[in-house]
Amino acid sequence: MPPDPAWTPWFIALNFAIAVLLLLSLLAVISGIGVWSRDLRWITKVKFTLVALACIFLSWFSIHWHLISQVHRI
């Protein structure tokens, strides 16, 4: 962590932003699954599914690399 405690609010804001992005990714995944039950063109279903898969990967990547973590590390 940087030695300056003035950076702490920015790390807290980053954690909140990532939490919101994970929530929106969850909604995209639900839409990607739900699109297959609708009467849409095949390519539209594939596009929704690819976006859902990208959201799953990016969410995993964020969690894996500890972007959501404690602000202070000792």
Structural domain contains residue 3: no
**What is residue 1's predicted lDDT score, i.e. its pLDDT?**
54
Is the pLDDT at 47 greater than 70, yes or no?
yes
What is the domain extent for residue 31? 21-68
Would 10 be classed as within a structural domain?
Answer: no
Written in H, E and C, the secondary structure of 18-71 is: HHHHHHHHHHHHHHHHHHHHCCCCHHHHHHHHHHHHHHHHHHHHHHHCCCCCCC
Angle formed at CA 65 by CA 59 and CA 67, multiple of 5 degrees: 75
- Model confidence pLDDT, tens digit, residues 5-38: 787 788 788 788 888 989 999 999 999 999 999 9
Q: Does residue 1 lie within any of the structural domains?
A: no
The count of structural domains within the chain is 1
Assigned domain for 15 exists: no
In a domain, 41, yes or no: yes
pTM above 0.75, yes or no: no
According to the model, what pLDDT value does residue 3 have? 65
Within a domain: 8: no
pLDDT tier at 63, thresholds 50, 70, 90: confident
Query: Which pLDDT score is estimated for 4?
Result: 76
